[in-house]
Amino acid sequence: MTYHMYVHGYSARESERLTDQAQTLTELLHRDTRYSKGSQVLEAGCGIGAQTVILARNSPDALITSVDISEASLKQAQETIQHAGITNVTFRQGDIFHLPFKPATFDHIFVCFVLEHLTEPQQGLERLRPLLKEGGTLTVIEGDHGSAFFHPDDPDARQAIDCLVELQHQAGGNALIGRQLYPLIANAGYRDLHVSPRMVYIDASRPGLVEGFTKLTFAAMVEGVADEVEKQGLMNQDAWKKGITALYHTTEPGGVFCYTFFKATARR
């Protein structure tokens, strides 16, 4: 299989978490992604459209085609875009590994939080490359759960994060893929490759990030795999509860949380 089961699930709460994440990180991750008028842009793996809204608003005169393998996610993405009054996005259902587009169709390809869910991410990048025009750009954004550090530090909280990493690994994905973007993209045949680390640093002076990222995005994401952790016996339940509580303690006055995303750009 080229895809693995989406470890975070498809609940309404997960949709809220993805939206919170996108809105909170707009400036950090998207400030330098702008596409010119008339550009043909492929968003490969749009999910529920959380990133699509930002992409379309930042490049209102570009023509964006957003694809995803999940029919349910696409339906939600379409509703989100319509509600936002955005008209420069077209949705198509499709598998990244077998997309129905002719070679050299797109000026740009955008891939955000997708590679971590592929069992063969380099092959996915290889399949996308022919769809770019010569000299066209690729933009990839991924996180890396191993980059999380925080105060107060807590061994149970670290183990809880490790449980999420392990579950994603078991399912065929890679929650540590951010650090691997350079070799993955280079080995897929792209050129002019540049990878930029984007750290989210959060303390009490940044209440929007405390709420939007530490609490509603990261801690909620880890807490969301509680049932599977218990089912597999990956962690003592008392320790698990203490770890999740400790993660939320980092959102209190005096708490600090850091996490690094990686943004790569390259050309065909």
pLDDT at residue number 26: 87
pLDDT over 70 percentage in the chain: 91
Domains of the chain: 12-267 (3.40.50.150)
Residue-level pLDDT at 23: 65
- pLDDT at res. 18: 46
CA distance 230 to 253: 31
Question: Is the pLDDT assigned to residue 11 strictly greater than 50?
Answer: no
Mean pLDDT, rounded, for 184-193: 98
Average pLDDT, the chain: 92
Residue 73 makes CB contacts below 8 A (sequence gap 6+) with: 10, 46, 47, 48, 49
Q: How confident is the model at residue 22 (pLDDT cuts 50, 70, 90)?
A: low
Q: Quick: pLDDT tens for 23-67.
A: 678 889 999 999 999 999 999 999 999 999 999 999 999 999 999
